[in-house]
Chains A and B, each alone.
Chain A
């Protein structure tokens, strides 16, 4: 039995303390009067304003609480909010650390010296804008407006997407799509005619059986889902977790299937086989709603649990037993689609298999399966029509990836490289709230692309690694200091949520909407910005649906009536927006595009001798690399550990806490050491490294050099031929026990 004791915890935290003592200002935000009378203020002595958390994409609505001096003292959830149900996750609760972080970007910076020299001088906003506009005009004259690419993330993204469309470039990508969920969306669109969106409409709190495949709810703190999984545990739902690692979800599961990585499709096909050939599928539902059942039946004929067992290394009886559990619970069963699904390059097909299995069990549109989400029909603020660009992300993407539904960052990077000499050249990068060096695999390529640009602008809150490659850095205000567009995500009931500033922007930072508008006006796009402040836009929009900014400032979240049913009503012939109007077990779209119309298992590479498969994942107190420097969250987890099975540890003579380095199949070595954690919780053929640590920007004082960054070791990317999704799980590592020459200090 191995415990982390309080003493360890204190050790961990006191290490944080030493860091804090060096960068003393961390303590600034403990309101001084509290240090004297030691009594925390009552909520009745505080004032609150509505916010929407920006620490991750879940976008929980909450309240920012301020004391009499105007300091933000805490953040809590809004009880009206279906994303948070009044409870923020640890990252959201610690979100005030993002505001108080003294490492923040404070004022605009312009590069001095050679490109990539990483030397900057402080500038005024006017100087920064002048520099950018001048360069953008030069790029436009030489290559056209389309040559300015936009990479964006999060709630700041839409302000710049609007600017780009007004400017006349649709050369943009949201890295988070191809790196994460595009294959899942397309897999479900090809099956049900619609994707899942966010939050995924899984009716988890009402389910009787939840199947998680490589989806670690509880380590990913997708707030509403974590809460609903807990509710499902309360009422005795069966949880089945398929994961090469004994995840937190596995710890709460009735069944754990420690699958061999890369073989999930074989398992899914075997489950389909059992459910079809043992007559366990929802006959009425399948007959009424699906297309291609006979093709599918024939397709999975030979995919028995025994066949899958040899591939997945799982016990065939366990495969059968878990299929029975699903069938018993149906239709209140969820084979969860997951979210980060860019794994092996056949991800759309794996997601198709998940979608098909749900269809066979009749869970789509059913209580305890997937509900039918609805959102508010919120009109956009009127604007003149956007100019049509000569080419866009579509031009350069959909010839290769026929089912791509959004720009693929890797494709944009390819068009930014010096060796690209086609007609669709990218010569300027505008990078909004995304650290591409860390989030995109094959870092060297990204850096070469960056160095080939005539202009690189980065808009961010922290001096992340990519800011070092910028010509101009624009410091954005945090979510606690700004308005953004109304949150209008679908859910069980349509609802809107407002993010309003709790405080004025610190330093010389500015809200994203302001930065985009100012730049737009300087680019001669005044007609797209007939408003002065975003409050005008928000109030206009809100009034169209019968509320107002004034009301939203009081309530934070407002619900609206549904117009459509939450579940498919009995006896109704539900229209599915696919070619056949049915759930397509056999995909006519995929067939027409020349892809496999039904999922096929294809073998993926095994680790070469002496190598282990690199599995990455998340810790619940961080949002990837974005929060590692947050003073509160850094304290909870300041570095990652490499999970190693005891057998491997014994073989290599490794000890708990020992520092090691990693070298991947292409000879790439981790920059920093990582400590070993010997644990039974991982398969012996794999190692596990939580993502986001090992930050390389020295300006992130708490995060720099603590642990190893998985992304550095992901040099092999398997692009999904259907969507362009960037599969990152076919990378293998060797453990090095002494410091290699290539590593950093």
Chain B
């Protein structure tokens, strides 16, 4: 008895199947080899890859859990409005700015955390991972969409606050909200991709409000002063930075390989 014995299979060895048409094996092999060759060296650009994915899958397949997403967003928005009503009647202008800054990532956070927490637990994970557009490639497109949707909802929310309070500057409020959203989202996605433990992947989620509220309580003047005195162009720079890091992380999702399944 010999270990690791290998015998080559030759198609001629199985006469029982001779009555059925053999596809020319060499043709198939050449075909496969050419597909494999063609596509190897260059990775398509991120936008073309994402665009192709969207065209291929369409809204229906990408957001098969649309009802849940809409539900979570509506719930989140409800909570935000409720909190805002309380803040509007109790806080001064600086307090409202701080409120906007702290809660802006909330909608994004809600949909993303649910999505990532569910991702690997899902029974369908393994089948979906073996497909051309795997779970993480779909996730990349979804994260871009989540960020965009949160962005729009946040802007609407801030406009409403500005109108309701009559003392908040719309531009400053929007910039504050958007920079907070993008910085948080960039850090969140970075944590998801690099974090080895659940604590490092989700730690930020709890850290964000703790840090902000902590600062607010410990250094109310410093914290509020900082938020309302940073010049507008600095917020714009923060937004660009956050957005760039975020898109970079979303791009990494396309080629993400988990160590365990």
A binds B: no
Interface set of A (CB-CB < 8 Å, partner B): none
